[in-house]
Amino acid sequence: MAWANGLIKTIIDRSNHFISCDVAVVIADKYPKARHHYLVLPTEDIPSIYSLNRTHLPLLEELHLLALNITEVRGLQWDNFKVVFHAKPSMQRVHLHVISKDFISDCLKTKKHWNSFNTDLFVPYETIYNQLSNDGCIQRWPKEVVDDLLATPLKCNQCSFEANNMPTLKQHLLEHSE
DSSP letters spanning 119-165:
STTEEEHHHHHHHHHHHSS-PPPPHHHHHHHHTS-EE-SSSS-EESS
pLDDT at 21: 92
pLDDT at 10: 73
Catalytic residue list contains 95:
yes
When divided into structural domains, the chain yields a total of 1
Given its phi and psi angles, is residue 93 left (phi above 0), alpha (psi -120 to 50 degrees) or beta? left
Active-site residue among 36, 37, 56, 95? 95
Tens digit of pLDDT for each residue in 113-151?
A: 999 999 999 999 999 999 999 999 999 999 999 999 999
Q: What pLDDT, on a 0 to 100 scale, did the predictor assign at position 1?
A: 45
Which residue range(s) make up the domain with 124? 3-177
Strand partners, 163: 154
Q: Is the pLDDT of residue 51 over 90?
A: yes
The CATH number assigned to the domain holding 7 equals 3.30.428.10
**Residues 54-105 pLDDT 10s:** 999 999 999 999 999 999 999 999 999 999 999 998 877 899 999 999 999 9
The predicted model scores a pTM of 0.92
CA neighbours within 13 Å on the CB side: how many for 113?
16
